[in-house]
Amino acid sequence: MIEKASTIGAHILSGAVIEPGPLDELLPGWRDAPPPVCVPAAEDEFWFLTKTGGTKFPVIPPGMANHGNFIVSLGAMCAWLAPQAEALGVEIYPGFAAAEPLFDEAGAVCGVRIGDMGVAKDGSHKPGYTQGIDIKAKVTVLAEGARGHLTKQLVRKFGLDAESDPQNYSIGIKELWQLPPGRVKPGKIFHSFGWPADSMTYGGSFIYHLADDRVAIGYVSGLDYRDPEYQPYEAFQQFKHHPLVKPLLEGGTILSAGARAIVTGGWQSLPKVEMPGALLIGDTAGLLNVPKVKGTHQAIRSGMLAAEHLAAQEAPAAAGFDAKLRASPVMAELKKVRNIKPGFKKGLWFGLVNSAWETATGGLSPWTWRCKSDWNSLQKLAEAEKPKRDYVERTLAPRDRLAGVYFAATEHDEDQPVHLKVSNTDICVSQCAEEYGNPCQRFCPAGVYEIVQDEQGKRLQINAANCVHCKTCDIKDPYQIITWVTPEGGSGPNYQNL
Ligand SMILES: Cc1cc2nc3c(=O)[nH]c(=O)nc-3n(C[C@H](O)[C@H](O)[C@H](O)COP(=O)(O)OP(=O)(O)OC[C@H]3O[C@@H](n4cnc5c(N)ncnc54)[C@H](O)[C@@H]3O)c2cc1C
Ligand code: SF4
């Protein structure tokens, strides 16, 4: 198992309230020795927020109730799982980024190439340069999470999405806070929608109360948003200043922060999950259940199914996995909720009525709403609806994105090739500036993209060292000229308990 983070879990950012069913199957005794952050779900609250108040739902929408679930730190849970896998003989290599797929003579995937270490920004070799090794496998299982870098190439090469809709995404931004004693109610789960999102922007929050006076707080923005001025990071910071939330956080300290894309296309966007020599599982396949905002149980289930599929064969091969996954509970779960997220493309109120219908009928509608790519939903400045945001003045930390990056503890050697490849930077200062006002400066939660003016005129500056590997730029850039590639293994965020 190859992992690009410096340690297992250091690039994992999630909510996370998990459904324990698949973990019970995988590790029957886990409840006796649970992961370090693990609080049984106690009470659920679901709110519609206005700028100055809100309405609490008298009942929790079915599927969103969390009785029997657990609040965990998924990063800490992965670190807890790793030694257990190693004890069973799995070899785990953190600090190694799979930079490109390898193909055999017949064109089948036969492994991955690890990125070189010690390459300078100008491409020359620094002292200590090490060429990345090739790791060969009979079958390569891709589990890169949302918008996998190798998966993206392989979907294109093998036409895996020929019969599915384009994949969709949201961006989730999260912080972990330490609060004064007495405020936190361990096990409490708060979700909201409404303010600060306008009715045409899909947005919602979560606050999960942990043990030891800590809360995990986050905000999810659908990357199908239309307003080129929208800033997911600012929407999150505004949410923290809502009258229901600010008193909870005031006087507390932020411990850790980061951002990550969430895969939301669901059933109709699922590509073929097998190709010669390789399989897709978890979020890189697109298995997250959107109304539940839960993908961990689906990732574990699909991983187990892949393992069973491969172990059952004398000569392991990918063929047959796609049919197995589609016939499994993983897909049945996605089918039921397939129309819920696309309904919100027609606005909040239509989306809510549609959700109620789809939930009441258990997804039995004879129709399926289609998905289209997130990058082409952005309106041009001249024709944008420009919703009135009416944001409040902020006082809580962090004051801006750069201060936020500090809490992600992200580290990239500055002297390495920039891992955000922009294929045509002329577009940035001409067409994009005019048509969209350079939205990369706003959708990146880490302030990586800046249009600067110097002696040579306006140009795009890429502050690659700040990148938290969320993949939003690769998804939302309206010209699709940004490609996120793997930096040196071990670079990137060093998330603590996210
Ligand atoms: C803000 C937010 C809140 C969420 N809340 C919940 C929740 O409450 N409950 C829930 O069940 N789910 C939740 N999810 C979804 C859940 O986190 C995902 O469904 C789950 O993590 C998917 O697991 P995965 O293993 O497929 O991918 P990931 O967890 O993304 O793991 C992928 C791993 O692969 C590594 N990797 C990627 N590319 C490479 C490469 N080229 N080389 C080497 N390593 C690589 C990454 O560093 C990472 O460690 C949430 C997600 C977000 C972002
Ligand atoms: S550069 Fe791209 S991947 Fe990195 S933090 Fe910004 S939006 Fe996310």
- Backbone phi, then psi, for 376, in 5-degree steps? -95, 15
The pLDDT value given to residue 61: 81
Ligand 1, atom 12, lies closest to the CA of 294
Contact (CB, 8 A) for 283 and 299: yes
The pLDDT value given to residue 128: 93
Amino acid at 68: G
CA of 263 to the centre of ligand 1 (A): 9
Q: Among all ligands shown, which has an atom nearest to the Cα of 8?
A: 1
Contact (CB, 8 A) for 199 and 191: no
Catalytic residue among 147, 260, 338, 401: 260
- How far, CA to CA in Å, does 415 sit from each of 22, 239, 444, 487? 43, 37, 22, 11
pTM of the predicted model as reported, rounded to 2 decimal places: 0.98
Report how far residue 207's alpha carbon sits from residue 453's, in angstroms, rounded to the nearest whole number: 40
Contact (CB, 8 A) for 353 and 361: no
CA of 216 to the centre of ligand 2 (A): 22
Query: Tokens 């750069």 appear where?
Result: 402
Catalytic residue among 442, 444, 472, 491: 444
Catalytic annotation present for 260: yes
Helix crossing, 296-311 with 329-336: angle to 10°?
Answer: 150
Catalytic annotation present for 440: no
Residue 312 neighbours by CB under 8 Å, 6+ apart: none
- Whether ligand 2 lies within 6 angstroms of the CB of 484 is answered as yes
CA of 334 to the centre of ligand 2 (A): 28
Neighbours of 162 (CB within 10 A): 9
- Whether ligand 2 lies within 6 angstroms of the CB of 223 is answered as no
Amino acid at 388: K
Atom of ligand 2 nearest to the CA of 446: 5
Contact (CB, 8 A) for 43 and 190: no
The pLDDT value given to residue 456: 86
Lining residues, ligand 1, CB within 6 Å = 2-5, 11-18, 74, 97-98, 143-145, 148-150, 172, 174, 218, 260, 262, 282-284, 288, 293-297, 299, 486
Averaged pLDDT in 10-residue chunks for the chain of 498 residues = 98 98 97 98 97 95 90 98 98 98 98 97 96 98 98 98 98 98 98 96 97 98 97 98 98 98 98 98 98 97 98 96 98 97 95 94 96 96 93 96 97 96 97 98 98 94 98 98 98 97
Ligand 1, atom 52, lies closest to the CA of 14
The pLDDT value given to residue 300: 98
The pLDDT value given to residue 62: 75
Report how far residue 169's alpha carbon sits from residue 373's, in angstroms, rounded to the nearest whole number: 9
- Whether ligand 2 lies within 6 angstroms of the CB of 469 is answered as yes
Contact (CB, 8 A) for 11 and 102: no
- 154's tokens: 């392989």
Catalytic annotation present for 444: yes
The pLDDT value given to residue 63: 78
- How far, CA to CA in Å, does 263 sit from each of 147, 171, 378, 423? 8, 9, 18, 25
Atom of ligand 1 nearest to the CA of 287: 19
Residue 455 neighbours by CB under 8 Å, 6+ apart: none
- 318's tokens: 């990918």
Report how far residue 261's alpha carbon sits from residue 467's, in angstroms, rounded to the nearest whole number: 13
Atom of ligand 2 nearest to the CA of 474: 2
First CA to last CA across the chain, in angstroms? Answer: 21
Catalytic annotation present for 473: yes
For 325, the enclosing helix (H) or strand (E) is helix 321-326
Catalytic annotation present for 296: yes
Question: Is residue 96 helix, strand or coil?
Answer: coil
Contact (CB, 8 A) for 410 and 5: no
Ligand 1, atom 21, lies closest to the CA of 296
